[in-house]
Amino acid sequence: MRQIYFLCTGNSCRSQMAEGFAKQMLGPAWRVASAGLRQDGLNPLAVKVMAERGIDISKQYSKLIDLQYLRSSDLVITLCGDARDHCPVVPATVRRQHWPLPDPAAATGTAEEILLAFRKVRDEIAQRMTALAETAG
C-alpha cells in the first residue's frame, strides 16, 4: 500500500483539507495522513468549506509529525514554507513536493472575506489533488 503525508505548521487547515481530498480521490490503495510541526486544532472553517464540497473532515484532528510514518511514506507534501523548511530529514526514497499555499487562518476582513480565503485555498488544493490523483495511479 502506498502512503502519502501532508505537512503544515499547525495541522489545522491546509493539510487537513488535503487529507480530506486525498482520502476521497486516491482511494483504498493509499494510506493518507496529515500532521504539523505543532497541534493548533482543526479549524472549524476548514470543516465548513470542505462540507460545501461534500467531504466531511469533522472527525479529523490535529496531529504532530510521526517520524515513522514520515520516513515510510512514498510522498510527502508540504503546504507551507515553515513545514518545508523545518520538516525532519526523510530518506532519499521518499518523494517530496511543496505546494506553497497561503494560510487561510491568517486571513483578515469580514467573516465572508475570511470564508472566501478558505474557499480559495480549498479549491487550489482540490486542483492539485486532482492532478496528483491522475498521475498517482
Q: Catalytic annotation on 13?
A: no
Report CA-CA distances (Å) from 38 to 12, 45, 54, 114: 9, 19, 28, 23
DSSP class of residue 95 equals E
Given 25, 87, 90, 133, the catalytic residue: 87
Q: What phi and psi, each to the nearest 5 degrees, are found at residue 41?
A: 85, 150
d(CA 80, CA 59): 23
d(CA 102, CA 21): 18
Given 7, 8, 33, 101, the catalytic residue: 8
Q: Catalytic annotation on 8?
A: yes
> Hey, which residues are catalytic here?
8, 80, 87
